Amino acid sequence: MIWQLYWNFLKIGLFSIGGGYAIIPLIQAEVVEKNGWITQKVFTDVITISQMTPGPLAVNTSTFVGMQLAGVLGALVATLGAITAGVIISMALYQFFQSHQESVLVGNIFQGLKAASVGLIASAALTIILLTFYGSSELSSIPWLNIDFKALILFAIAFFALKKYKVNPILLMCVAGVIGLIIY
């Protein structure tokens, strides 16, 4: 299990340069769909908690999943797996960019990568929205009339408070969490 944790999070870390929401589909595929280490519901909770705690999403998620599966050693090994590739790639990219600072080709490649990242972020956002309002991220299995109206109303109120009254997002998350605890 320890080796498997390291290997899977090394793969995730290898493709999570830049981190953020773009990596959610890959993490989901590895820990929920392929390995079945956690359920879809737990995965959604992990993503939520990972966004509320300091640090990159992939690292926070690897630590949580490793802890769930193999305790403190699992958390350490999974976290090490998640950061190994990033450290090595960052050092290599630094060297590359130092020697190719003026290249137009390199600039064009990055434009393409930015576009792909937008698509990955949109996919992650859709997954979170579907899980929150419908309890499933599979479009074909969603009962479209069975929307979670409590979640929708809570979202609308939070969105309104954030945009209209500029409520502190941390305070808003805390209040929404307490309300969620009460109504669910």
Which pLDDT score is estimated for 63? 93
Which pLDDT score is estimated for 16? 78
Give dist(CA 148, CA 19) in Å, integer: 30
Kindly write down the DSSP assignment for every residue of 3-25, as one continuous string: HHHHHHHHHHHHT-TT-GGGGHH
Q: Any idea what the Cα angle at residue 52 is, between residues 119 and 133, rounded to 5°?
A: 60
Which pLDDT score is estimated for 73? 97
Which pLDDT score is estimated for 20? 66
Residue 83: how many other CB atoms lie within 10 Å: 19
Which pLDDT score is estimated for 82? 93
- H helical segments located in the chain: 2-14, 24-28, 40-52, 57-99, 104-134, 149-165, 169-183
Query: Full-prediction pTM beyond 0.85?
Result: no
Which pLDDT score is estimated for 140? 76
Q: Which of 50, 44, 22 is nearest to 135 (CA)?
A: 44
How does 16-45 read in b/e, with b if 16+ C-beta sit within 10 Å? Answer: beebebbbbbbbbebbbeeeebbebeebbe
Give dist(CA 26, CA 16) in Å, integer: 9
Give dist(CA 151, CA 146) in Å, integer: 12
Residue 45 φ then ψ, to 5°: -65, -40
Tens of pLDDT along the chain (184 residues)? 899 999 999 999 888 766 667 788 889 999 999 999 999 989 988 888 888 888 888 899 999 999 999 999 999 999 999 999 889 988 998 898 778 878 999 888 878 888 888 998 898 888 888 888 888 777 777 777 788 899 999 999 999 999 999 999 999 999 998 998 999 8
